[in-house]
Structure 1
Amino acid sequence: MNPNKVVREAVSKLTDLPNIGKASAADLKLLGIEKPDDLVGQDPYDMYERLCAITSTRHDPCVIDVFISVTSFIQGDEPKNWWAYTAERKRMQSGK
């Protein structure tokens, strides 16, 4: 869902989360995440590695940004566009 349209109190299914559409919801389900609360305690980088392993495909690193956006949201952060997390991902991946 577009982050500008997310209403935290109305989030009940995966596609209610910021930046999650049908394809991303399907990816989350592959990871065993069936509902938003299943994201509590999840590590977005681990989620990405697991997804790549499950699908035997190296996904675009922007998928990590989407995962950061939803795990941050579920921890209480405001909904933001996935690209707001790109710099954080690049910083983490560079080890700086």
Structure 2
Amino acid sequence: YLGEGQKTASELTELTGMSKANVSQHMNILKARGLVHCDKCGTFCHYRLTSPKILEVCEIVRELILDQMQITAHHHEVLSTVVPLHQKDPA
């Protein structure tokens, strides 16, 4: 959601369905790692990504995970055709 622009913790809570405490904890971790910046405006903190390249990295990682899931699904499919042959009752 931060790829769309800055958001407050309340907005992120509403968008994600996570608790405000959980969102705050995640944002603090991302801030500590330099991935998110917090712009204070009164009592509100507007979170934003520190670089648009973060979205590019996330998309690459997402593609890698999806590729790996497809490979794993294919392996399971192949194994499901082989394993029953070896499990036949010898009697």
TM-score by length of 1: 0.29
The TM-score normalised by the length of structure 2 is 0.30
Larger proportion of strand: 2
User: If you compute each CA radius of gyration, which structure gives the higher value, 1 or 2?
Assistant: 2
